Amino acid sequence: MRPLTDMLPKPLIPVAGKPLIVHHIERLVGAGFSQIVINHAHLGEMIEACLTDGSHWCVDIRYSPEEKALETGGGIFRALPLLGESPFLAVNGDIWCDLDFYRLKLAHDKLAHLVLVPNPAHHPQGDFVLQGDSVSDGDGEKLTFSGIGIYHPRLFKGCHAGAFPLAPLLRAAMAEGLVTGECYSGHWVDVGTPERLRHLEIQLGGI
C-alpha cells in the first residue's frame, strides 16, 4: 500500500469516508462488543490519537503496542493480559468485511473457530480445507483464511514473547481436531493494494 502507508498506518486508510478500522469498530459495537484491544506497531501512535479510548463509539478501547512488529501470533500473545481468560474475537486491521460478528461462536471444547472465504484472485491456492464445520490442513479444495477468528487463550499455551506467526499454532490445533470454521460468501476484501482499495471504494459507493 505504499506510498500511502509511509505516512499512515494501514488501519487508518480512508475507506468510504472513514478509516478502515472504524468500519470494524462500528460493526463490533453493533454486534454487542463493549471492549476492544488493538495491537499496533508501524505508526501506532496515530491509531491511538485517532481512536483514543473509544468513548466516541461507547466502547472501551485498550492498546497493546509493539516496538517491533511481532507478526499475528506474537502480537496476540503479547495482548493476552488485556484479553482475559475467555475466548476472544480477532479481526485483522487490513481487511473489510460485512460479516455479522454477533453470530460467531466457539464451541467449549475447541481452541479456534475460523472464518474462511472463497479464494480471491490474488490468493487462488487458499489456506485450509473445510469439511462440515471442521478445518484442516489436509488434502482437498482449500479456502482462504479471512483474518477473522475466535481463539481460546489456551491456543497460545507454551508460547513465548517475541515475533511468531499464528498459522503453525492453528495447524497444530487442527491436527488435534480442535479447530472449527465456516465459509463466508458475503463481502470481504483484503485491502492490500491500491487497486483493491479503489475497487472497494467503488463497491461501497454503490451500497
* pLDDT for 206 beyond 60: no
Within 10 A of 202 (CB to CB), how many other CB atoms are there?
10
Across residues 115-142, what is the average pLDDT?
A: 96
Contact 14, 206 (CB under 8 A): no
pLDDT score, position 205: 76
Tell me, what CATH number does 83's domain have? 3.90.550.10
Which amino acid does the sequence have at 25? I
Across residues 34-53, what is the average pLDDT?
A: 95
User: Residue 192 burial (CB < 10 Å; 0-12/13-18/19+)?
Assistant: middle
Where in the sequence is the domain holding 22, given as residue range(s)? 4-205
* pLDDT for 169 beyond 70: yes
Q: Measuring CA to CA, how many Å separate 61 from each of 11, 102, 122?
A: 15, 18, 33
How far apart are alpha carbons 197 and 190 in whole angstroms? Answer: 9
134-170 per-residue burial string, b: 16 or more CB within 10 A, e: under 16: ebbbeeeebbbbbbbbbbbbebbeeeeeeebebeebb
* Residue 76, helix vs strand vs coil: helix
| Tally of structural domains, the chain | 1
Which amino acid does the sequence have at 150? I
How far apart are alpha carbons 182 and 21 in whole angstroms? Answer: 23
Residue 45 CB partners (closer than 8 Å, separation 6+) = none
How far apart are alpha carbons 26 and 23 in whole angstroms? Answer: 5
Using 50, 70 and 90 to split pLDDT, how confident is the model at 153? very high
Q: What are phi and psi of 80, to 5 degrees?
A: -55, -40
68-104 pLDDT, tens digit each: 899 999 999 999 999 999 999 999 999 999 999 999 9
pTM: 0.94
pLDDT score, position 1: 54
